[in-house]
Structure 1
Amino acid sequence: FTEEELDAIKEALPEMPEQRRERYITQYGLAPADADNIINDKDICDFYEAAIKAYDKPKTVANFILGEFMRRINLGEMSMDSLKFAPEDLARLIELGDTDKINKNNYKTIFVEMINTGDKPDAVCDRLDLWVKEDSSAVEAVIDKLIADNPKPVEQYRAGEQKVFGFFMGQANKALKGQATPNTIKAILEQKLKG
């Protein structure tokens, strides 16, 4: 064999798990334990590879797969053999959250719908009206009502109890049903709570 023929044969060989692990750690920046968890299951590994081809954020995709994705498999709510959605659909869901088109607090709702129906994330967002609208007047109205309805926590916050801020964030997010990003809610809430 010539050197060129040997190189061609090497290129044609499938990537070995150890090589893939090394690539995940060095190129994608995954922690060794995360890389191991992904490569331990060939189906999950192939799914991950396809998802990052669709959305080139390897760490973000890995975090979702190792978190909510694996949790649903472990709960028996889905299996790799009977997935109703494609890797590209999961990639799209993650991208929607990263680009603030949806509130990341709605990830689980959308993901469960994808598991159950096979619908694409955009279709789920349309059907359940989960798109971020960033209507600052709607956010202000919700926050104004929260402040009016909760004078004691407002007093606590203004007296320096910062932990009360989380209460207002949670209530505002719940009232807005994820149709504003946490950053928008936080900015308006901080402004309004200052009085």
Structure 2
Amino acid sequence: MSGAFETSTRRCDKAGCEEPGQYRAPKSPRNLEDFFWFCKEHVREYNLNWNYFQGQSEEEFQEFLDNATVWDRPTKPFGRAAQDQKWARHGIDDPLEILGANGTNPEVRAKMNLRKLPPTERKALEILEAKDSWTRAEIRKQYKSLVKDLHPDMNGGDRSDEDRLQEVVWAWDQIKESRSFRD
């Protein structure tokens, strides 16, 4: 447990000492892999005088401390811009959600709340001017309202809205066959 290398055949590096050099000591703080070899008495003397920070300025010492507190791993600032980007893609302006619904961007929240519908059903909702959160009964009510407005019998025989009426009928056919809407 003394740190001695019992098998070392070296002599102590202290001038004039003939004892075996069984204890190693770094030559420089800049190169901790190059060693002096000393006897027990001289390694103690060397260690008492050893100063890892000898020859370093105050700035170098402070830089060493700063790096040592983060295990010599570079750190990135925990800046507001990085947080904003990370949470913004989810529509959240309040990363800790302290503000609840008030912390969320309304446009993004609306997009997030959209159901995943097939493109034909999404197009049908647009034609019927309906919301995807509506039930089938609410959509049917909207459909009937549009048919009444667009039908030539209700417009005094005016056939100018026939194309739009066909779109509305097509859209309702898509919705009424769909499993995506509750009754």
TM-score under structure 2 normalisation? 0.23
Q: Which of the two has higher C-alpha Rg? A: 2
Greater strand fraction, Structure 1 or Structure 2: 2
Higher relative helix content: 1
Greater RCO (CA < 8 Å, at least 6 residues apart)? 1
